[in-house]
Amino acid sequence: MNAFVRGFKEDATRLAGDLRHRGLIQAALNKYYGARDVKKSKYQSWEDARQAAAEIKWEAINTLDKCLVDFTAKLEARGTRVHWAGTAEQARAIVLNIVREKKARSIIKSKAMTSEEIRLNDALEHAGFEVVESDLGEYIVQLRKQAPYHIVFPAMHLTRGEISELFERELGSAPTDSPEELTMIARRALRSKYIAADIGITGANFAIAETGMISITENEGNARLTAALPKTVITLLGIEKVLPRLEDLALFLPMLATAGAGQTLTCYNTLYGGPRQPGECDGPEEYHVLLLDNKRTHLLADAEQRDALHCIRCGACLNVCPIYKNVGGHTYGTTYSGPIGSVITPHLRGLQEWKHLSDASSLCGACTETCPVKINLHHHLLHNRRNAVRQNPVWWEKLAFIGFAFIVNRPVLYDIGKKLARIGQLFHPLIKGSPLDPARAWTKTRDLPELAEKSFHELWRERR
């Protein structure tokens, strides 16, 4: 068992029994469910919108080479410097180069999951630069030296009391139990950071191939400030973020808001097409866009699972997943958690090391049903399981299934098996839940249902 599996199992067991954690997550998600259902019901046809969104992302991903060429050509034509990074290491090196060249002292960042993916903050801090996360939730988890708990709600696992204590300790503020006051403490602390920063780093929600624009969705205004005030701005994005046309946003922006946060539209949806243009009074002198592969082309090469690249990172599948709700975001040990994380992490970081995430699934299909771009999520979990076994067969599992098939195909043997099981059951309490118990994974915390006295087959024979 590798360390990732061990960590996952330990954390999952601990958190699944942590009632305080459960209460916190349920309370947060219940608010989300209510808002999402109201907003979804306002659509004239959410289902048609989903189908169209799925088709548009399908088009973008299946013409990705053309989309990327168009996107970057348009950006470069208006003075943006485009960088391509095959790996996380290359991406970090590119950002470090820009930061060093600009002799930057302080860096302000808005939310970017890709920066978590390439561990950019660690690299920048290691090189001696101050990096401040400006999204409130990200700022809180950064102060706690933690990873974000959720793609969209990074600090969902914390109470206001914990945040107040954190601010008291790190910022010297007075304790308070008002979310509004806590938000204002962060607002005041970050204002000077925006103004002082030489470099702004942002993520991206969409990349428009037709016009060469980055689209950023947020509620707080921190990304807008990050892209407005520093002299140099860098945007990080995965190559899969493309949409073919500008007008596609008329569908994707409201769908992202509804699926992601239960809003009609997120507060700020902003398009950036380059550095400050002639006749404009502000904006960065230099604009860099960094396109990251980091094994996305590996996922692209798997035609069966290619639609996982349609993901718009709304987090809706996390919010409905019974596994996520029980074990929480940090347990996954990955940048991308929940069903989408379980699907793509084996492609991004190795199937054998991360296949266990695909086992942590009830296969209920809630993720597939809620996904606004119709990614076939729960089937992909099965595909990962199948691929993992195909690549690395487990001899005793194989043997067990051969034995199982041999017995169930022979009614006489099956009948004997049933009778033996009824006898064996009498002795089971002696070993129940102990390391000797073959059903231990189940019986550790649960009872095994008793076999019926008579099988359906036997009852049927008697009735005839």
Partner 1 sequence: MSEREAILGRVREALRIPAPLPGHGERKGSREFSRWLPPVGDSLEAFRAASAELRTDFRLVDSPEAALAELRAAEGWKKIATHRGELTTPACASLGLPVLTVDSGYDVQDLEACDAGVTECDALVAQTGTVVLTSRQAGGRALSVLPPHHVVLARRAQLLPDLPAAFALLKERYGANYPSMIALITGPSRTGDIERILVLGAHGPKKLTIFCL
The nearest distance, CB 83 to partner 1, in angstroms, is 8
Q: CA-CA distance, 171 to 144, in Å (whole number)?
A: 12
**Token pair recorded at residue 157:** 């696992």
DSSP per residue over 333-358, as a string?
-SSS-HHHHHHHHHHHH-HHHHTHHH
Place of tokens 């608010």: 31
Q: List Cβ<8 Å contacts ≥24 apart for 389-393.
A: 391/351, 391/352, 392/352
The nearest distance, CB 31 to partner 1, in angstroms, is 5
**Pick 302 or 437: Cβ nearer partner 1:** 302
H or E element at residue 206 = strand 206-208
**Pick 182 or 360: Cβ nearer partner 1:** 182
The nearest distance, CB 413 to partner 1, in angstroms, is 40
The nearest distance, CB 213 to partner 1, in angstroms, is 7
**Pick 13 or 159: Cβ nearer partner 1:** 159
**Pick 265 or 421: Cβ nearer partner 1:** 265
The nearest distance, CB 256 to partner 1, in angstroms, is 12
The nearest distance, CB 94 to partner 1, in angstroms, is 9
**Pick 5 or 251: Cβ nearer partner 1:** 251
Task: Point out which residues pair with 107 in neighbouring strands.
Answer: 131, 199
The two beta strands, 213-218 and 268-272, are: antiparallel
The nearest distance, CB 306 to partner 1, in angstroms, is 4
Q: CA-CA distance, 249 to 290, in Å (whole number)?
A: 21
**Pick 8 or 200: Cβ nearer partner 1:** 200
The string over 208-222, giving b where at least 16 C-beta atoms fall within 10 Å of a residue's C-beta and e elsewhere, is: bbbebbbbbbbebeb
What value, to the nearest 5°, has the Cα angle with vertex 193 and ends 229 and 231?
Answer: 30
**Pick 249 or 360: Cβ nearer partner 1:** 249
